[in-house]
Chains A and B, each alone.
Chain A
Amino acid sequence: DTGVSQDPRHKITKRGQNVTFRCDPISEHNRLYWYRQTLGQGPEFLTYFQNEAQLEKSRLLSDRFSAERPKGSFSTLEIQRTEQGDSAMYLCASSLAHGPQETQYFGPGTRLLVL
């Protein structure tokens, strides 16, 4: 068990470009979450999957954002037509859903800077 991994760790892009981030959860975990963390703030929930189904999306997830988890394993988060306000740390977490003992384990994050 190597924990949750995210790639890339850092991304610098120009406004208007598309970016895609990848998250590999802990292997047996069936739930996967995406959060966004801006400077000086706590993480904010974006969306989550149970297996390959996307079950919940925050209103923070505008139509420029899309997330997928095609085979119920890794997930991708794509941001189209990036804006400077998208600059943030994007965190992925995974958990094993089996009642109230669920604990979310976080990856190291992808830091995005939009110029």
Chain B
Amino acid sequence: AQSVTQLDSQVPVFEEAPVELRCNYSSSVSVYLFWYVQYPNQGLQLLLKYLSGSTLVKGINGFEAEFNKSQTSFHLRKPSVHISDTAEYFCAVSEVQAGTALIFGKGTTLSVSS
């Protein structure tokens, strides 16, 4: 079975500062990795995904993430955040073989202030 740990429940940052949201996973099989964002009162929107190939993945809104197999991590980064990036961010995994249910972490609340 897989599990996902998001190491920070809340991350407060100032506008234009860099940010890193940390995600570690545990699995006995190969996995696909995802980051979703949830704005207030909205559904989840895919930010980026890692399926295979280059370990650095670029997503929407200037976000990127790096897959590190040895550390079983998939941290999300943005070099300069905006007020509009304030949201809940979820890391998720799914088994490569099954490719069905997503297993989510508990989420990280990113709060960007001016």
B101 contacts A by Cβ under 8 Å: yes
B32 touching A43 by the CB < 8 A rule?
Answer: no
Number of interface residues of A (CB under 8 A): 27
A40 / chain B contacts, CB cutoff of 8 Å: 106-107
CB < 8 Å: which of A33, A44, A101, A108 contacts B104?
A: A44
CB closest residue in chain A, given B105: A42
User: With the chains together, A48 CA to B102 CA distance in Å?
Assistant: 11
Complex Cα distance, B103 from A33, in Å, reads 13
Count: A-B pairs, CB below 8 Å? 56
Do the beta carbons of B107 and A100 come within 8 Å of each other?
Answer: no
Q: List 27 A-B contacts (CB under 8 A).
A: A4-B43, A31-B100, A33-B101, A33-B102, A35-B102, A40-B107, A41-B107, A42-B90, A42-B104, A42-B106, A42-B107, A44-B104, A45-B102, A48-B101, A55-B100, A56-B100, A56-B101, A93-B44, A97-B99, A100-B51, A100-B99, A102-B99, A103-B46, A106-B45, A107-B43, A108-B41, A108-B42
A contacts, CB < 8 Å to B: 4, 31, 33, 35, 40-45, 48, 55-56, 58, 91, 93, 97, 100-109
B residues with CB within 8 A of A: 4, 32, 36, 41-46, 49, 51-52, 90, 92, 96, 99-107
